[in-house]
């Protein structure tokens, strides 16, 4: 969780772990979810299981939303609309927010604000989508349904136009953000080399990371356009991982722009660690538990039944996320708390 005040280009404390772990899991998930050629059908179960078994605490209070349209009275949750909006609005917001001759720190701040808004919006949309599809995330009412093939399980077979739109928006964000990061890197590098500003140029590694994530998601958009997508609800559940990012952004801002406010930094770090533990470590177990419950299996047993690509990606994410979380807690206790005292 080290983050130097002199290197504004460092995104936030979690960035190394984020680069390493999200790519393998999302790529393997998309490959796994499109491995089988069977046709998919909508799940129509009316199971009245408790929603508390489906969503992490707090999300059950979100307003209900139908899984095919955004219930706003005027906007349909169509993936092309969300994709086009993401590609247009995010770069426009970035362009309008940077003044002439912006320094590397100012470029980074504009991008972080957009990241904060996007991650918050994605968590809200994902929670609404999952709540609207809670019946597809509950165990089947009979044993025969629990013995169905993986591809026929509600969590895999259910289609959701709203979920497709969420993934389209995430794809657009990753694509445009990888381009913006490259632009900001070269712009800040020229300013630093010319001696016009001090500090380090923005890092470019995150741009490659986002580009790598966007490629399989673009493939997913092709499957969606053909009506062959599956496992969308699993991917939407993973979007809840974005819940820790706003806390990380606040912490990044305090470290780089308010470095003397140690108490606020410690508070932001605690909030970040808590959300990271719930949304990036526990959530993996929760997804496996939800998947396994539809086959009358435990989370560990459902993990063992996964195909090799998905099993490798899930294991990589669980191990690296957990290890990074424990190291971050250790660093916080040994460094930040002692310094604050």
**Dihedral over alpha carbons 8, 9, 13, 14 (to 10 degrees):** 160
Number of structural domains found in the chain: 1
Domain membership of residue 126 (yes or no) is yes
Q: What distance in Å separates the CA atoms of residue 152 and residue 198, rounded to the nearest whole number?
A: 58
Residue range(s) defining the domain that contains residue 53: 15-340
**Dihedral over alpha carbons 301, 306, 310, 316 (to 10 degrees):** 30
Domain membership of residue 186 (yes or no) is yes
Residue 82 is predicted with a pLDDT of 93
Domain membership of residue 6 (yes or no) is no
Domain membership of residue 69 (yes or no) is yes
Residue 200 is predicted with a pLDDT of 56
Domain membership of residue 114 (yes or no) is yes
Question: 333 near 193, Cβ under 8 Å?
Answer: no
Domain membership of residue 7 (yes or no) is no
pLDDT per residue rounded down to tens, the chain (341 residues):
444 333 443 333 333 334 434 544 454 455 445 444 333 334 333 333 443 444 454 444 444 434 433 333 334 568 999 999 999 999 999 999 888 777 778 888 999 999 999 999 999 999 999 999 999 998 877 665 555 677 788 999 999 999 999 999 999 999 999 988 888 777 777 766 666 555 555 666 777 878 888 888 999 999 999 998 989 999 999 999 999 999 999 999 999 899 999 889 999 999 999 999 999 999 999 999 999 999 889 999 999 988 898 899 899 999 999 999 999 999 888 877 666 55
Residue 50 is predicted with a pLDDT of 40
Q: Which of 161, 169, 84, 152 is closest to 129 using CA atoms? A: 161
Residue 52 is predicted with a pLDDT of 42
Residues in the chain, how many? 341
Domain membership of residue 251 (yes or no) is yes
Question: 67 near 129, Cβ under 8 Å?
Answer: yes
Residue 196 is predicted with a pLDDT of 59
pTM over 0.85: no
Residue 100 is predicted with a pLDDT of 78
Domain membership of residue 10 (yes or no) is no
Which residue stretches of the chain are H helix?
Answer: 15-33, 79-97, 104-132, 143-146, 154-157, 161-193, 205-225, 232-238, 245-257, 262-276, 283-293, 299-305, 308-331, 338-340
């Amino acid at each position: 969780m080290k983050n130097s005040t002199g290197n504004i280009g460092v995104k936030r404390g979690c960035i190394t772990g984020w680069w390493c772990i999200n790519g393998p899991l999302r790529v393997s998930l998309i490959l796994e979810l499109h491995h089988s050629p069977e046709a998919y059908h909508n799940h129509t179960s009316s199971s009245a299981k408790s929603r508390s078994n489906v969503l992490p605490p707090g999300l059950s209070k979100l307003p209900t939303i139908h899984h095919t349209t955004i219930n706003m009275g005027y906007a349909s949750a169509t993936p092309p609309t969300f994709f086009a909006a993401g590609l247009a609005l995010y770069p426009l917001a970035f362009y309008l927010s940077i003044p002439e001759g912006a320094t590397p720190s100012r470029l980074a701040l504009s991008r972080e604000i957009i990241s904060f808004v996007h991650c918050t919006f994605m968590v809200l949309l994902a929670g609404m989508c999952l709540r609207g599809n809670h019946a597809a995330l509950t165990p089947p009412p009979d044993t025969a349904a629990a013995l169905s093939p993986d591809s026929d399980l509600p969590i895999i077979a259910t289609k959701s136009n709203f979920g497709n739109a969420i993934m389209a928006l995430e794809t657009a964000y990753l694509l445009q953000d990888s381009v913006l990061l490259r632009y900001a890197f070269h712009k800040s590098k020229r300013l630093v080399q010319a001696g016009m500003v001090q500090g380090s140029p923005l890092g470019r590694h995150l741009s490659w990371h986002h580009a790598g994530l966007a490629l399989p998601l673009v493939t997913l958009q092709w499957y969606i356009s053909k009506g062959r997508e599956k496992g969308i609800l699993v991917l939407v559940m993973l979007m809840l991982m974005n819940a820790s990012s706003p806390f990380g952004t606040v912490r990044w801002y305090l470290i780089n722009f308010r470095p003397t406010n140690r108490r606020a930094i410690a508070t932001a770090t605690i909030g970040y660690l808590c959300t990271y533990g719930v949304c990036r470590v526990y959530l993996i177990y929760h997804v496996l538990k939800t998947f396994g419950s539809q086959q009358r299996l435990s989370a560990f047993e459902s993990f063992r039944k996964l195909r090799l690509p998905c099993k490798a990606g899930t294991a990589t994410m669980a191990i690296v996320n957990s290890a990074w979380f424990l190291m971050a807690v250790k660093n916080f206790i040994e460094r930040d708390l002692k310094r604050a005292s």
